[in-house]
Amino acid sequence: MGLWDVASLAWAVDVANTTQNDVAIYQKIYQELQQSTQEFHQLGNNEKFKRLISDPAGRIDPQFKIAPYFKDAVSFWFKIYSFYDSSFAVIHDREYLDLVYASLNFTELKDTPLKQFIQQGLQEQFASEKLLETKRSLTNLSRQAKASTDLEKDLVTKIKAYPLKIPFTARTRKDFYQNLAANARLQTGLHDHFRQGLERYFPYQTALNAYFANFNMPPELLAISFVESSFNPKAQSFVGALGIWQFMPKIGRHFLPMNKDMDGRQNPLLATLGALHLLQENFQIFKRWDLAISAYNSGTKHLLLAKKKVQKINHQRQKQFGKKAKLLTPDLATLLQNYDHPHLGFASKNYYSEFLAMQWSLAYREQLFVNLPEKTKDYGVVDAYLTCQKMPWAAIKAQHAQIPELNNHIFATAKELAAGTIILSNQSLPAPQFLRVPEDIQRRFRPIRWMQGLQKEKRGCPNSTLATSAIKAEISEEI
C-alpha cells in the first residue's frame, strides 16, 4: 500500500470492528488519492480567480490594495479561503507560500460509507505521511549533488520553477535544502470554514455595520475576525485566546469585562467594540492601516523599532544625497524588508496577506458561494446599556427573550449582576434600572471605562434607583 499498511490505519478505526470490506475501502481510497492529486496552481488559476483578484467591481478600498511584496502570499490565501474546502490540502513552503510541492484532493472520501471521524483520520494520516515524505526528500537533496528519485526530481523542478536559485556549492546547497525541509508545511483548505463563519456573521451584520460607522473605521477590518477565528465566538486557542477577535486574557482585560460572572471576549458584538478600540489605538500610533493591522497580531514593539530603523536609513540617505535622496516609505512591506527579527518577518507578512485575501473573499462572497443564505435572522441595531444597580440576572432574562442570546458574555452561572454591567439589547431597556451608552461614549472610551466616562461627564446613572427587591416587578411592568 505504499506509505500505508493496514496496521498504520488501525488507529483511526475500532480495530475489533474492522472488516475485510473496510480494508478493501482503505486500499481503494489510497489508490484514488494517489491518482487524483491535482496541481494547486492549475486549480487556482481559473478564470474566476483571475477575474476576482483584479477587483473588477472596485469593492476594495485603495488603502488595502495588494502591494507587489504581498502578491504571491495573498494569491495563496485567496485560493485557500475561496476555492478549496477542508477536503483539499497542499504541502508548501512556510516562507514562499506559493511554492507548492504537492496538492492533495480528498473529496473521494466523502463518497465512502466510512464514518466522518474515520474519514478525517484517514485524511490527516495520509497528509501527514506525504508531508514527512516531502521533508525527507528535501533533506536527502541536502546530502547529494543530484536528485535520485522521482519525487526528488519533481521537487527540484518545482523549486526551480518558483523560481528559486539552487546554490552550486555543497555547503550552501546543504543549508538551502535543510531550510526548505524545515519550512515545508501542510495547509488544509478553508472554504467550508469560511462559509460557516459567514452564516454565523449574518445575524450580527446590521449591528456590526453600525459600530464600524460610529467609529468611522474601514469595514474591511472585519476580515481580521475571520482570519482569527472564522467568526467563531467559541474559538479558543491553546494559549488562551478567545472569541471571534481572539483576545488574549492579558490584552482583553484592558478593553472588556472579564470576571467570575462574564467574559466579554466571547460576545461577538462586545468583543468587536473592544477590537475597534485596539485597532483605533494602533492606527493613532502608526498612522497607517497596514501597520495597525499587523500590530493587532504582533504587538507594537517591533514594528516601532522597524519604523525607527527605516527612519534612520532615510536620515543617512538625506545626509549623503541631500534633496536627491531616494527615501523609503515606512509601509509594512518596507519595514519587513529592512528589519530582521523573528518576532516579525514571515509571521507578519503572512498575517497581513491573510487579511488582504480575506477582505477579497468577503467582498466577492456572493460569487464564491452557491446558495449563501444572507437573508437569515438579523438582530438589527443593537444598543449598549449599563445596569445602574445590582440586578438579578435570572429576572432580566425571564422578562426579555432576546437578552440571553445577545449577552453570551455573561455566564449561565451568574446570579446577581453588579452595577455597571454591560447589557446589549436590540430593544429599549427601561430607566432608571438601565442606562443607554451613547455612541460618542462608546467611541471615546473602552467598554470597561464606559461607566467612568459617563460619570466624568455627569451623564451617569441617576442617584435615585430602585431597590433590588423591586426590580423583577418593575421589569415586568416596563419591558
Domain that holds residue 351: 192-368
Provide the pLDDT for residue 68: 92
C-alpha cell at 210: 453600525
Pairing status of strand 88-93 against strand 100-105: antiparallel
Is 373 a domain residue? no
User: What number of CA atoms fall less than 13 Å from residue 361's CA on the CB side?
Assistant: 32
pLDDT per residue as tens digits for the range 168-181: 999 999 999 999 99
For position 278, what pLDDT does the model report?
Answer: 98
Structurally, how many domains does the chain consist of? 3
Say yes or no: 172 and 197 in one domain. no
Do 440 and 322 sit in the same domain of this protein? no
- Both 152 and 277 in a single domain? no
Q: Are residues 353 and 416 located together in one domain of the fold?
A: no
> Is there a single domain that holds both residue 207 and residue 247?
yes
In this prediction, residue 41 carries a pLDDT of 57
Q: Flag whether 376 is in a domain.
A: no
- Other Cβ atoms closer than 10 A to 340: 10
Q: Is residue 98 part of a domain?
A: yes
Same domain, 24 and 172: yes
What integer pLDDT is reported at residue 118 of this predicted model? 84
The per-residue pLDDT for range 219-262, each reduced to its tens digit, is: 999 999 999 999 999 999 999 999 999 999 999 999 999 999 99
Whether residue 163 is preceded by a cis peptide bond, meaning omega within 30 degrees of 0, is yes
Find the CATH number of the domain harbouring 260: 1.10.530.10
- Closest C-alpha to 433, from 410, 409, 467, 403: 467
In a domain, 1, yes or no: no
pLDDT tens for 48-63 read 778 888 899 999 999 9
Please, are residues 130 and 104 in contact by the beta-carbon 8 Å criterion?
yes
Phi, psi of 167 (to 5 degrees): -60, 155
Q: 186 and 209 in one domain? A: no
Is 458 part of a structural domain of the chain? yes
Is 444 a member of any domain?
Answer: yes
Residues 6+ apart with CB under 8 A from 116: none
Three cell numbers written together for 55? 477587483
What's the pLDDT score for residue 13? 45
If asked whether residues 421 and 282 sit together in one domain, one would say no
Select from 108, 90, 104, 123 the least CA-distant residue to 4: 123
> Which residue ranges in the chain fall short of pLDDT 70?
1-46, 374-375, 463-479
Q: Are residues 297 and 425 in the same domain?
A: no
Residue where one domain finishes, among candidates 323, 341, 368: 368
Asked whether residue 374 is domain-assigned, the answer is no
Q: Tell me whether the omega of the peptide bond preceding residue 432 falls within 30 degrees of 0, making it cis.
A: yes
Residues 108, 64: one domain? yes
420 with 387: CB under 8 angstroms? yes
Would you say 291 and 332 are in contact if contact means Cβ atoms under 8 Å apart?
A: yes
pLDDT (0 to 100) of residue 27: 63
Domain shared by 113 and 173, yes or no: yes
Beta partners for 186?
91
Among candidate residues 324, 345, 368, the one where a domain is terminated: 368
Burial class (CB in 10 A: 0-12, 13-18, 19+), 412: exposed
Helix/strand/coil for 400: coil
- 90 three-class SS: strand
Domain membership flag for residue 377: no
Give per-residue pLDDT as tens, 401-432. Answer: 889 999 999 999 999 999 999 999 999 999 99
Burial class (CB in 10 A: 0-12, 13-18, 19+), 201: buried
Residues 201 and 160 grouped into a single domain: no
What pTM does this model have?
0.88
Residue type, 362: L
Of 191, 220, 240, the residue that ends a domain is 191
Q: What's the pLDDT at 373?
A: 74
